[in-house]
Structure 1
Amino acid sequence: MNRKRLIAALVASLWGSPTPAQSVWNDFQIHGFGAQAVLKTSDNRWFGDSDQTSFDFTELGVNASLRVLPELLVAGQVLARRAGGMSEGTPAIDYALADISLLDSPQHGVHVRLGRIKNPLGLYNETRDVPFTHPGIFLPQVVYFDRVRNLVLSSDGAALFGETTTDFGTFSGTLVYGQSLVDENVEWSYLNGNFPGDIAPDGNSWIGSAWFTSSSQRLKLGLSGAALALRFRPDRDVAWTLDSGTTDILYWIASAQYRAEDWSLTAEYAREPLQWRSYGPAFPDRKAVGEGYYVQATYRVRPPLQLMLTYQEGFADRQDREGNALSAATGGLAPAFSGFSKIWSLGLRWDIDEHWMVRAEYQHNEGTFILSPRENPDPDALAKYWNLFGLQVVFRF
């Protein structure tokens, strides 16, 4: 499958169909959003020069959908995202898909989706780029890694989605088969550097999810995961680089959320078995099991004001929770605290009206596991304890 041709064809289909023009355009919708944040950290870099105050976290998105036929919906979104040294803000296709309804009734639904598809990972991955859909400025980083965001965000391929509604609740599931999106941040995160050569998907990936939502819509439980592999292709024209190696990734998330009228409680647990093979003597074969979890509570003080409290922990290897083995394996180059993160977050959200929102967030961090080595290439400059303050303004139409 040539994914560029497929995506171009799907986007082009937004502007033409055999259906009469009047009925088509009655079902056309377009929306958008913009978000700008200012960030300040006591130490370390988070989305730009945050230790000096950073304005380098900006998101601009436009999405559209069109029901071409009763059984066919096409939709897409273009996103420009600037995120410090991890993203320069170049507009890109966030998703572009055709949704074909095979069965659609009040109790049952079966759909096939083709194109660039948002991966159904966890509670927030499919909507992570729409700021109004999550409580804080940042999603919990020990589960939703912004440093490898594109790798888990979308896949180019096909998905099968089904759901059934009973008196007890709604059961749904999705299975996606396609190719992951890989950028330079993935190499920095999984190989801890930028080596001469390219990293790319090694074959296609599988992503799946299963969800239960109670009939009251208050309780939601889910299990989701992805299996994929990466291959490094070395540049043969340089004196030295890594060998042609592979990284195998199995990433899964268990999710639970309870929502009452004025408060909600959310918890997710993620585990990521990893295996590095055949990179050569400079990068020995090894295995690790990454782990992360968080608990988040929100409370609506008044209709427009919401408080958020989050605690999260993440580990590069669950068998090395203090990072000592990691530090020893690098000859002390990597500090032990780079193997874990423990974070308290307090946030305030103010929904001014249906179009405008302002958020403030404070974090106290122990450890630097969540940080991008691309933005923080010097391990000696890292601080174990650091604070983050962020303020974000969001608009949507």
Structure 2
Amino acid sequence: MRIYIALALGLFSSHIFSAQSDFTWHGYVSQGLTQSKDSSFITDDNNVTGELTEIGLNGYYQLAENISIAGQVNYLDGGNRFEQGARLDYLFVDWKLPNLPGRWRGQIHAGRFKNIHWLYSSTRDVPQTRYTSILPQSVYNDGFRDVALGSNGILTSFSNYGKEYTWELNWSYGRSNINDSQREFLLGNEVKGKIRQDFVHQASVFLQPSSMTWKIGAGWLNSDFKYTPSQDEDGLPGTANIERFMLSAQYFAEHWEVSAEIIRDKQNSQGLFSPDFAEKRTGEGGFVQFRYLFNNEISGLIGYDKYINDTSDSDGKELEASTGGLIPAYFGYQDTYTVGLRWDIAPKWRLQGEYHWVEGATRVVSLLNRDVASHSDKHWEMWSIQLMYWF
């Protein structure tokens, strides 16, 4: 990862003062205040902090007529949600395929490419493109942000621009490195070994009319993970497979828009606790958001987000019983109500605020943590206010 960041910085710095028209670069700076109350999702001990910092620099360099390079480095501090520090969000070669038949257009990304299979997966790394600082956690789980944002591998995208409709077909295959913060989110803070993503295989399709008033899509994901314990822990080797199915929809009107996604996750885990340990579960969830534009500068948002960790135990009572009360039932689900307000106070300046009311805590922390109950009450809240500038 350090090598990738050094290469990206070298790419940016070598051209940042260049007057050549084949290189462009942009950036953003965002700072805010945030708090999670009665939960450690963002902050500890109900503290109000400034751990809401995002600084990014991205560039695009045209190597040849159909070949370019794009990349972004990012500094991120989101409290307990992320590992604080710099990271390489993406760095890939973009090859636009020439001479495709009919109305088809295609391109291939090779390197660390961005996830384009979900509604907001390709824009979640840029603060001014998000309607809220904290996206719906049913789909955009912050504990897994860096892995879900992109992968090291190859992505293909084909679009057909017909007279009435546009079709978009996407396919990708790769893997991501998993840092200590993401390992703890997946397996708990007691583990000290190495977790590896063997692969992530994704495909998606989107349909949009020429009027651009709506967009629908469907996606599929399959990924394998492997855990190797360290020599000084009691854990055992383990594997996990995750398969996700998703449906997406958006509708745009002159002064308002609505968006929604629903998901179904199938997880199959083996090992970790005993040689014969095996667990299969199916999780379901989704969100709906409504945004209204009061004028060209001010807009508001309301949203609802829900996730159930196991569809056979939607209220979490079996989870609580099976752990002898160690894990409360409300860690089996999470319901979130959101309101937000955005104000474009000047060109390239934005002030954005939001408030979330939450019942349940299945997205707060890994259910494999031994002290999971200490991480959240049943009912909790979170809020943020963030000032953004981009150039």
TM-score normalized with structure 2 length: 0.92
- The separation in 1 between residues aligned to 2:174 and 2:339, in whole angstroms, is 37
Residue pairs, 1:288-299, within 5 angstroms: 288-299=281-292
Show CA shifts across 1:331-389 (max 9, x none): 21111001111111111111112311111111111111221359995514521111222
- The separation in 2 between residues aligned to 1:64 and 1:386, in whole angstroms, is 40
Q: Which residue of 1 aligns with 2:293?
A: 300
Q: Which residue of 2 aligns with 1:166?
A: 162
**Which piece of structure 1 moves more, 327-336 or 68-77?**
327-336
Q: Which residue of 2 aligns with 1:71?
A: 66
- The separation in 2 between residues aligned to 1:54 and 1:67, in whole angstroms, is 41
Show CA shifts across 1:76-131 (max 9, x none): 00011112134343211100011011136893211111110111231001110111
**Residue of 156, 175, 178 corresponding to 2:152:** 156
**Residue of 360, 376, 386 corresponding to 1:382:** 376
Distance 1:99 1:379, change over 3 A: same
Q: Which amino acid letter does the alignment assign opposite residue 113 of structure 1?
A: H
* Residue 254 (str. 1) matches residue 250 (str. 2): no
Distance 1:89 1:189, change over 3 A: closer
Q: Which amino acid letter does the alignment assign opposite residue 298 of structure 1?
A: R
3-state SS of 2:277 partner: coil
Q: Is the 8 A contact 2:40 2:375 kept in 1?
A: no
Query: Pairwise CA RMSD of aligned residues?
Result: 2.6
3-state SS of 1:199 partner: strand
- The separation in 2 between residues aligned to 1:169 and 1:213, in whole angstroms, is 6
Residue pairs, 1:1-397, within 5 angstroms: 25-49=20-44, 51-103=46-98, 107-201=103-197, 203-236=198-231, 238=232, 240-281=233-274, 284-373=277-366, 377-380=371-374, 382-397=376-391
3-state SS of 1:127 partner: coil
Instruction: Please state how far the C-alpha of 1:16 moved relative to its aligned partner.
Output: 8.2
Q: Is the 8 A contact 1:25 1:66 kept in 2?
A: no
Q: Is the 8 A contact 1:120 1:208 kept in 2?
A: no
- The separation in 2 between residues aligned to 1:8 and 1:89, in whole angstroms, is 18
TM-score normalized with structure 1 length: 0.90
Distance 1:78 1:198, change over 3 A: same
Q: Is the 8 A contact 1:47 1:57 kept in 2?
A: no
- The separation in 1 between residues aligned to 2:63 and 2:85, in whole angstroms, is 30
Name stretches of at least 5 consecutive residues in structure 1 with no aligned partner. Answer: none
Aligned residues between the structures: 388
Distance 1:381 1:154, change over 3 A: closer
Distance 1:104 1:348, change over 3 A: farther
Q: Which amino acid letter does the alignment assign opposite residue 390 of structure 1?
A: S
- The separation in 1 between residues aligned to 2:148 and 2:130, in whole angstroms, is 17
3-state SS of 2:237 partner: coil
- The separation in 2 between residues aligned to 1:327 and 1:132, in whole angstroms, is 40
